Amino acid sequence: MSRSLIIGAFIAAIGIGGWLWYGTQGDDVPGGFVRANGRIEATRVDVATRYGGRLEEVLVGEGDFVEARTVIARIDSSQLDAQLREADATVEQARQSLVEAEALLAQRKSELVFAEQQLARAESLSERGFETGETVDLRRSEMQTATAAVRSAEAGIARAKATIAAAQSTVDRLKADLKEYVLLAPGAGRVQYRLAEPGEVLAAGAKVVTMLDISDVYMTVYLPTDDAGRLEYGSEARIVFDAAPEYVVPASVTFVASEAQFTPKYVETEQEREKLMFRVEVTIPPELLEQHRDIVKTGLPGVAYLRLEPDAEWPEDLAPRLPDVH
């Protein structure tokens, strides 16, 4: 073998050995800490229709950031608008009926007063012999008729009020239904998918857009029993993204599964996937997400470092380092 080949082989061996050493050192974690790979996730929220209908407009696009209660889309409500106008007219008609019933009651009460006076006069004249018993009986019958008329008029008022209440309930229901024809963002977030376009006829429950709630962003990692058992809720953590290793994002442990499971297919090696591991969520603080919401993305792979021992000191290279806020 020539001298140059021997030297080349020696250099290659040194290079491979150095690469292996570097990879091993990169995986080293100080005592009291553990590291695990994962991907950034966020809570997904589907904005869907409550009632079926034709989609009139969609006011957001994929990637848009929207605040809570922002109008996302509108469903054509022309038929419901007509029903609401009809219901409003019914309410007005019922109110007019109430006015008429009140006027009738006033008339019937006046007639009752007159009938009572007529009866009293007839009874007084009869006691003095100036009026016959038949006249007294007639006046008494007239008073009873007037009393019944008053009760009927009072019932008419109650009926008119009930009609108003029923008609108003219909109006309120239609107005509540109309609100459902305007789809609002349930919270602040970023539009991930736009799933329907104007002109489409949608069924009840059809999804129009899918949003990501960027106030709830976390990385899911898997830890073996020994490490998961030492974790405390609220334990400090750090996240380093593969795409931006110069930044270190502070986080905390917010979830530890109560039961072990096999890890997903994308985790590490086949050997790792065959082990039972505990799912752990490491969440980024909402206030930090709000400050950097324009660069928050899901699906990014990275490494989470979790503190197992409360007294363990974070190494200097894992001190929080964040991009500037513009």
DSSP symbols for 35-58? EEEEEEEEEEEEEE-SS-EEEEEE
Residue 325 lies in a domain: no
**What is the spatial distance between Cα 100 and Cα 93, in angstroms, rounded to a whole number?**
11
**What is the spatial distance between Cα 313 and Cα 326, in angstroms, rounded to a whole number?**
31
Do residues 307 and 32 make contact, with C-beta atoms less than 8 angstroms apart? yes
In this prediction, residue 159 carries a pLDDT of: 95
Specify whether 98 is located in the same domain as 190: no
Which of 51, 55, 4 lies closest to 205 in space, CA to CA?
Answer: 51
Specify whether 241 is located in the same domain as 265: yes
Residue 17 lies in a domain: no
Residue 147 lies in a domain: yes
In this prediction, residue 3 carries a pLDDT of: 37
Least confident of 35-49, 54-68, 286-300: 286-300
Specify whether 308 is located in the same domain as 169: no
Residue 2 pLDDT greater than 80, yes or no = no
Specify whether 227 is located in the same domain as 287: yes
For residue 61, give the CATH number of its domain: 2.40.50.100
Specify whether 91 is located in the same domain as 233: no
Specify whether 161 is located in the same domain as 130: yes
Residue 5 lies in a domain: no
How many domains would you assign to the chain?
A: 3
Specify whether 151 is located in the same domain as 293: no
In this prediction, residue 296 carries a pLDDT of: 87
Specify whether 85 is located in the same domain as 52: no
Specify whether 82 is located in the same domain as 171: yes
In this prediction, residue 293 carries a pLDDT of: 86
Residue 173 lies in a domain: yes
> Whole-number mean pLDDT of the chain?
87
Q: Reading across the β-sheet that carries 53-58, which strands appear in turn?
A: 182-184, 71-75, 53-58, 201-202
pLDDT tens, 124-157? 988 888 888 899 899 999 999 999 999 999 999 9
Residue 21 pLDDT greater than 70, yes or no = no
Specify whether 223 is located in the same domain as 136: no
**What is the spatial distance between Cα 108 and Cα 2, in angstroms, rounded to a whole number?**
130
Residue 90 pLDDT greater than 60, yes or no = yes
Residue span of the structural domain in which 233 resides? 30-43+214-312
Question: First CA to last CA across the chain, in angstroms?
Answer: 62
Specify whether 242 is located in the same domain as 278: yes
pLDDT tens, 173-195? 999 999 999 999 998 999 999 99
**What is the spatial distance between Cα 3 and Cα 20, in angstroms, rounded to a whole number?**
26
Q: What is the pTM of this model?
A: 0.68
Domain C-terminal end among 166, 191, 207: 207
**Side chain identity at 143, as an amino acid letter?**
M
Residue 225 pLDDT greater than 90, yes or no = no
Specify whether 187 is located in the same domain as 305: no
Q: How many helices (H) and strands (E) would you count in the chain? A: 6, 13
pLDDT tens, 270-317? 555 557 889 999 999 999 998 988 888 889 999 999 999 999 999 999
